[in-house]
């Protein structure tokens, strides 16, 4: 076993002897020291995901010696020197550059679950939200590349899918409010340091986003193209159409960066092909996988990033109401933890589906 591997059966301390008829997968996490990598480790532990061994991998730029906590620590290995034929599942949790360099080679040997933006636009790679379109995994063999949508896309389609099943969507208007953790640990540190600086009457440096983010909002996420459209806006409509199976659905997006550490928020205005009954819509949302509906009649309870997004197993939907300007419309607000629910939870859920299939062979 290499320095990047930690033997043992599972995050909950179970051993292979406890489950003699189950084939325990060997796992690698590339980008294990990133926010999402650490969240995947936490999710494996929380879900009691059994594994034969786990390899925590990073590139040479990361100076950390290990990841984990006092109950389970995994030494970091160098991804450049790792033999992917040694594992069954690889989670890519780091920068897109890591996925671009290593994911295709890893997919020759293992299921490669890629949470970066590197392969999402490829039509030959399944794009999966476990709570919405798990059936696309049926086309994946004993190994291969699987892409996961961005966090805002995961949150949006998780709420739209049950409504689309009730009455077909005609159009979606959405404004997204992205937490800084979507840009990584450095962006979170900048928000914290800028907040301290401004409260101490010092100037904010604005390195991570080009402008001050503390006590501010920035009306684009990622670079703008020559049409003035942000890269995140294009990603959201492309990914959402594909996961929903609605390739021509008009989705109009404005993406905004806000001074919040965790939890993307979305204001959604959905139009349907015919009038949609509010109570039917609420019933469909309540019955949906991965959704928690906050009573729309409450004047005090509604989803916010600082409250409900800290319970990371659901997409929280509130302020559900009929669009008073058109009977075919429905307006609602949703919040989800972008790192844990929309990234790590989705990645581990996909792995669960694949492993369950493996053990039925």
87 — phi, psi (to 5°)? -130, 165
- What whole-number distance in Å separates Cα of residue 340 and Cα of residue 260? 15
Least confident of 44-48, 70-74, 160-164, 183-187: 70-74
pLDDT of residue 204: 82
Residues 64-77 have a mean pLDDT of: 78
Q: What pLDDT shows up at residue 10?
A: 41
Residue 48, pLDDT > 60, answer yes
* Pairing outcome for strands 89-92 and 72-78: unpaired
239 and 130 in one domain? Answer: no
At 268 the pLDDT is 98
Domain total of the chain: 2
Q: Which of 13-17, 72-76, 260-264, 341-345 bottoms out in mean pLDDT, i.e. has the lowest? A: 13-17
pLDDT given for residue 210 in this prediction? 85
- The sheet carrying 169-178 orders its strands as 251-257, 169-178, 264-272, 329-336, 315-322, 291-293
Q: 28: pLDDT confidence band, cut at 50, 70 and 90?
A: very high
Tokens coding 181:
């953790």
Instruction: Clarify whether residues 184 and 299 are in a common domain.
Output: yes
3-state secondary structure of 111: strand
- For residue 21, the model assigns a pLDDT of 62
Please tell me the total number of residues recorded for the chain in this structure: 361
Decide if pLDDT at 158 tops 70.
yes
Judge if 124 and 224 occupy the same domain.
no
| 127 and 91, same domain (yes or no) | yes
Q: What is the pLDDT of residue 14?
A: 44
Domain assignment of residue 125, given as a range: 5-149+342-358
Smallest Cα–Cα separation from 181: which of 306, 7, 44, 313? 306
Mean pLDDT of 353-361: 79
Could you read off the pLDDT of 223-277 as tens digits, one per residue? 899 999 999 999 999 999 999 999 999 999 999 999 999 999 999 999 999 999 9
Residues 121 and 262 in one domain: no
Q: For residue range 310-347, what is the model confidence (pLDDT) as tens digits? A: 666 899 999 999 999 998 999 999 999 999 999 999 99
Together in a domain, 100 and 160: no
Angle at the Cα of 146 (from 143 to 152), degrees rounded to 5? Answer: 160
- Report the sign of the C-alpha dihedral through residues 67, 179, 256, 186, in that order: negative
Of the listed ranges 152-156, 176-180, 280-284, 309-313, the least confidently predicted one is 309-313
Please write the tens of the pLDDT for every residue from 173-185: 999 999 999 999 9
Query: Which pLDDT value is given to residue 12?
Result: 45
Tell me the two tokens of residue 273.
Answer: 């092909």
Q: Would the pTM of this model clear 0.85, i.e. be above it?
A: yes
Instruction: Burial-class residue 147 by CB neighbours within 10 Å (0-12, 13-18, 19+).
Output: buried
pLDDT, tens digit, for every residue of 84-115?
999 999 999 978 999 999 999 999 999 999 99
Q: Tell me, yes or no, whether 144 and 236 share the same domain.
A: no
pLDDT for position 61? 66
Residues 168 and 301 grouped into a single domain: yes
What pLDDT, on the 0 to 100 scale, is given for residue 64?
Answer: 64
Percent of the chain with pLDDT over 70: 90
Q: For the purposes of burial, counting CB atoms within 10 Å of the CB of 43, is it exposed (0-12), middle (13-18) or buried (19 or more)? A: buried
Residue 127 shares a structural domain with residue 171: no
Query: Does 132 lie in the same domain as 196?
Result: no
- Mean of all residue pLDDT scores within the chain: 89
Question: What spatial distance separates the first Cα and last Cα of the chain, rounded to whole Å?
Answer: 27
Residue 64: partners with Cβ closer than 8 Å, 6 or more residues away? 33, 58, 76
- CATH number of the domain encompassing residue 304: 3.30.360.10
Element (H, E) at 272: strand 264-272
Q: Examine the domain organization and report whether 194 and 92 are in the same domain.
A: no
Same domain, 65 and 97: yes
Domain with residue 72: its CATH number is: 3.40.50.720
């Amino acid at each position: 076993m290499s320095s990047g591997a930690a033997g043992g059966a599972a995050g909950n301390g179970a051993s292979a002897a406890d489950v003699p008829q189950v084939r325990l997968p060997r796992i690698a996490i590339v980008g294990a020291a990133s926010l999402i990598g650490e969240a995947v480790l936490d999710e494996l532990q929380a879900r009691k995901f059994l594994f034969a061994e786990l390899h925590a991998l990073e590139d040479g730029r990361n100076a950390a010696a290990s990841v984990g906590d006092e109950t389970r620590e995994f030494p970091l290995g160098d991804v450049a020197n790792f033999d992917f034929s040694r594992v069954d599942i690889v989670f890519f949790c780091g920068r897109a550059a890591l996925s671009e360099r290593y994911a295709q080679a890893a997919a020759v040997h293992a299921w490669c679950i890629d949470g970066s933006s590197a392969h999402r636009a490829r039509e030959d790679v399944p794009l999966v939200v476990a709570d919405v379109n798990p059936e696309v995994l049926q086309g994946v063999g004993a190994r291969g590349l699987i892409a996961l949508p961005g966090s805002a896309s995961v949150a949006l389609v998780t709420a739209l899918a049950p409504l689309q099943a009730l009455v077909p969507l005609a159009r979606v208007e959405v404004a997204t409010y992205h937490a800084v953790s979507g840009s990584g640990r450095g962006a979170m540190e900048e928000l914290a340091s800028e907040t301290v600086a401004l409260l101490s009457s010092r100037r904010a440096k604005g390195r991570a986003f080009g402008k001050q983010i503390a006590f501010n909002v920035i009306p684009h996420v990622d670079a703008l193209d020559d049409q003035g459209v942000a890269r995140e806006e294009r990603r959201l409509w492309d990914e959402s159409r594909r996961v929903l199976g609605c390739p021509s659905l008009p989705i109009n997006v404005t993406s905004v960066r806000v001074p919040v550490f965790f939890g993307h928020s979305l204001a959604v205005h959905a139009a349907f092909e015919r009038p949609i009954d509010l109570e039917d819509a609420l019933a469909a949302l309540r019955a949906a996988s991965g959704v928690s509906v906050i009573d729309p009649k409450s004047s005090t309870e509604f989803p916010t990033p600082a409250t409900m997004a800290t319970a990371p197993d659901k997409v929280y939907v509130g302020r559900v109401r009929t669009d008073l300007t058109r009977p075919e419309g429905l307006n609602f607000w949703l919040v989800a933890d972008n790192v844990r629910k929309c990234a790590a939870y989705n990645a581990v859920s996909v792995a669960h589906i694949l492993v369950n299939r493996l053990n039925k062979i």
